[in-house]
Structure 1
Amino acid sequence: MNFHIAVDIGASSGRIILGHIENEKLILKQVYRFRNDFFEENGLKKWNIDELIKEIFTGLSMINYQKMNNVTLGIDTWGVDYVFVNNKGKKISNPVCYRDSRADKKFQEITDKLTKEKIYAKTGIQFQKFNTIYQLSSESQNTISDVDKVLLIPDYINYVLTGKMVTEATNASTTQLVNLASEDFDEELLKAIGLKKEQFAKIVEPGTVLGTIKEKYRREYKLPKIQIVCVGSHDTASAVAGIPAFGKNWAYISSGTWSLLGTEEKFPNTTQEAFDGNYTNERGVNHSIRFLKNIMGMWIVQRIKKENFNNFSFQGMADEAEKFLPFQQFIDINDSVFLSPKNMLLTLKNYCVGTSQKVPRELGEIMMCIYSNLALYYANEIQRIQRISRKTINNLFIVGGGCNIDLLNQLTADVTGIEVIAGPSEATAAGNIITQMLETKEVSSITAGRKLIVNSLPVKRYKPATFNSDILKKYQLFLKEKGDLND
């Protein structure tokens, strides 16, 4: 029997998921879970990449391989961040976290130099100050001169495991350095930030086989010959591959630390409307395009929990929110003040003070403020994406950890006026494993893989109950007056 391992690492935690097909159903089992967070080093926010790799091996060593004939493994993580490797194949330093503010000044410098219009026409990628292009431009030339290869986070982990250097396509697209037409690194953009194409490994498609885990790791951790397969290594690419949807008129929210709201398309959309809305055209599994918008997501909830209410579970925090009325404040969830503040709750309260609104004080009030504004932001972007794509969205699929919050799902259905289908929460792992199964011929296509997911993993439906279009209109007016969103 074939078994498949999904190594799914997000910006706050990582999981090792074991999957196989049994009685025509996809069986998923979480083997190991570990925390992930950035730390401060020499004034920069950084990831402990060596610790992450150690956690992967800890999880792999916990699997009973005795009855497994063939084992494959795929790695997905967040996007944009990278590791520098020298000409001896060694890591130069820990990777800097995208939440560090070092690239803020370079963002303005690069976009002034090349213009946003030109960059967008080349790449189709949304503008975020932490995109790889701006992070790389903030590196010192002394550092750059020592760099043999720039490897994105999952590509570096694959390299450590196998010794093979590649750049997987879905994560490569998040760099804002890949040309839409050539599907390769754009040399003009690289020149503008002082790098060369040779400093990047060859771009490969999901499904590419890299080889087996190095013998030294197999001996140390008592592992079998695990074959490493490039999957949609950007976690959203794997999540979208794992959405149980068919047809054309659906949208998705991959809900975790970030909420990625979008549609799956065959071709990129770089129209003026897409540019104005700051929508991105990231690569997906099976040569698809993830046309989407990055939204701050559960990050605000995660930080408030960690900083102020760590004795509560996420579900317990949502239960407290149920005691309060929604829509008592309007918050631009995507405001940059929430990206990496020293104190998230104080930042939220100051935002309300600065916009002359009621300040939430109790835990339930705070959570309802966040959830109701997430729902409003989703609804605003659903309307926008329908205008840009010229399609009517009939179903909204919410997957990932955030799909377990009933309150948020119902609020989203109510303010969008669209049925919400929540689940599976394991969509990223499922999409990761489905991509591995494409290579082993256990599924014939992404569509076949999605059918397998539909028949295997539970979902929950939320129909609009009390759609109040006036609330959304007032929220949209608030955003317009604030001036952060063009509409």
Structure 2
Amino acid sequence: MTETYIAVDIGASSGRLMKSERQENGQITLEEIHRFKNGFRMKDGHNRWAIHQLTNEILLGLEKVKKSGATKCYVGIDTWAVDYCLLDKEGELLEEPISYRDARTEQAITQFSQQFSMEKLYEKTGIQIQPFNTIFQLFVENKEKLAAAEKLLLIPDYLGYVFTGNAVTEKTNASTMQLLNPDAQNWDDELLSLVGLNQKQLAPLTDSGTVLGELQREKFPTFDLPCATFITVATHDTASAVIGTPGEGQDWAYISSGTWSLLGVETTVFNVSREAFLENYTNEWGAHNTIRFLKNIMGMWLIQEVARMQEYRYSYAELADMAAATPAFQQFINVFDDSFLNPENMIEAIQQYCEKTQQKVPKTAGELARCIYDNLALCYAVELEKMEELTGTGRKIDKLHIVGGGSNNRFLNQLTANATGVTIEAGPGEATAIGNILVQMITTGIFTDLKEARKVIQHSFGVSIHQPEAFDQTIIEKYKKFLKGATN
């Protein structure tokens, strides 16, 4: 009997349940069963996630799984990183979780650095310094509320707990909290103390690929649910996306392209050098004893917000077409600038940035899209060069895999190939769900290891190839000079 696997893959703007089976020819299938919207909204003074809505949508999706004919299945959950739920002694939420884009952490790094060196924090954890990291969220958290919490669970671990009653802290996501010490392979007590947390409030650390437990169907009597075994996959969506990347050998890199663009390499050695600290590269723990050495880049969030501000008058494909018909490289923007993190109006934020830096102001939809795509491609090129330097002399990336939703943007893919001078292999678009599924399949014995599983990706899902075309390298040098001036 063919086993059924379900990937619950939830991002910052949407979620989906994807159904997968392994066919007799060795390929794996992927079918969308249920899709739903996600997002934060202002409540009680903070931007909060509607976590109860997420649990309800997962249950609705599992009902559809059963209606599709699967009475038994395996399930894995992945979501975004760093955000958490606080539970009371009865295991109930103290409040809806606050989004990492909430303004509460705007001054957190400045305040934290008065007590603890940022460079020492990096040496201890290997994690990039970002204001939304869990350590900074906890630093500004209400201390009475934090002290009253019996348990803290990251978002995917909380969802798994709701459905199985078993609480764990999966390592690939836990590493993004900036509270784990890679040398000790455990929590760092000094950092926990600084934020007012103790190890008893944290669920046991667990490797991806661990069976979590059975779905407690009796808790949800109004839903017609299948028998489901939950597996703790690589619960950080980027970790799952990297697993779902069909890379071979050593000289490849990836961009997990979604709301964020995560550009990195898969390695087994932590890099906590001063150079890596100054460039703000991160060492996130990966599945199967790997490390994701990567740079967090403001990604499709920019174009998503521009589309939203235009009330979705144009599709993303139409915006890309309009960008292609617009003159190139009319302005430079630093995509890392804080003004783009969560502005009320992204169009105004981009325009004000260009006014401030005395550049041509993009006004039309095509000009705005062209500005975003040009600068993302330039940023990728600059960061790829830095990453090659940071990962050791002699390492030259010869292939860049772009996976995730952004891999469908052929215009940006070609721009990136041109700017980097590297062959782009774009796809699969559903790499995160695929990586989620592959961990489940390895756990249940379908594949022996990650290498074998990745070969199946190549045979099961299509990719597009983008070869570099002629590109004026002086544009990159001008961009670097602009960035140097913009950050001084």
TM-score by length of 2: 0.97
What is the percentage of aligned positions where both structures have the same residue? 44
Match of 1:16 in 2: 17
Q: Which runs of 5+ in 1 are unaligned?
A: none
1:22-37 residue pairs with structure 2 within 5 A? 22=23, 23-37=25-39
Q: How far apart in 1 are the matches of 2:468 and 2:66? A: 45
CA distance in 1, matches of 2:217, 2:369: 49
* CA–CA separation in structure 2 for the residues paired with 1:477 and 1:113: 34
| Residues 1:124 and 2:130 are matched in the alignment | no
Once residues 397 and 432 of structure 1 are traced to their aligned partners in structure 2, the CA distance between those partners, rounded to angstroms, is 18
Q: 1:60-459 residue pairs with structure 2 within 5 A?
A: 60-64=62-66, 68=70, 70-217=72-219, 219-390=221-392, 391-459=395-463
The 2-side partners of 1:468 and 1:455 are apart by 36
Find the residue that maps to 1:113 and give its secondary structure.
Answer: coil
Task: Give the letter aligned to residue 405 of structure 2.
Answer: G
8 Å CA contact retained: 1:256, 1:400: yes
In the TM superposition, what is the alpha-carbon distance from 1:435 to its structure 2 partner?
0.1
SS of residue matched to 2:64: coil
Q: Which runs of 5+ in 2 are unaligned?
A: none
Which amino acid in the other structure matches residue 62 of structure 2?
L
For the Cα contact (< 8 Å) 1:83–1:152, is it kept in 2? yes
User: Which residue, out of 468, 474, 477, partners 1:473?
Assistant: 477
Q: Report the CA distance between 1:218 and its aligned residue.
A: 5.9
Question: Secondary structure at 2:65's aligned position in 1?
Answer: coil
CA distance in 1, matches of 2:427, 2:472: 25
Structure 2 residue 484 is the aligned partner of structure 1 residue 483: no
CA distance in structure 2 between the partners assigned to 1:112 and 1:386 by the alignment: 33
Contact 2:87 2:151 in 1 (8 A): yes
CA contact (8 A) 1:2 1:69 kept: no
1:278 counterpart SS class: coil
User: Do the aligned partners of 1:414 and 1:468 also contact (CA within 8 Å) in 2?
Assistant: no
Alpha-carbon RMSD across the aligned residues, in angstroms, is 1.2
**2:404 touches 2:427 (CA, 8 Å); kept in 1?**
yes
Q: Is the 8 A contact 1:218 1:224 kept in 2?
A: no
Moved over 6 A (4+): none
**Amino acid of the structure 1 residue aligned with 2:251:** N
| 1:381 positional shift | 0.2
Is the 1:416–1:467 Cα contact (8 Å) retained in structure 2? no
How many angstroms apart in 1 are the aligned matches of 2:160 and 2:71? 22
Cα deviation digits, residues 424-465 of structure 1 (max 9, x gap): 001000000000001110011111110001010000000011
Helix, strand or coil at the partner of 2:58? helix
Q: Quick one: which amino acid aligns to residue 248 of structure 1?
A: Q
| Alignment-mate amino acid for residue 13 of structure 2 | S
Show CA shifts across 1:24-45 (max 9, x none). Answer: 1010001111111110012211
- What secondary structure sits across from 1:220 in the alignment? coil
CA distance in 2 between partners of 1:242 and 1:170 (Å): 15
Q: Distance in 2 between matches of 1:282 and 1:444?
A: 24
Residue pairs, 1:39-78, within 5 angstroms: 39-64=41-66, 68=70, 70-78=72-80
Give the structure 2 partner of residue 461 of structure 1: 465
Q: Deviations over 1:365-397 (max 9, x none)?
A: 110110010000101100000000021110000
Determine helix, strand or coil for the equivalent of 1:25: coil
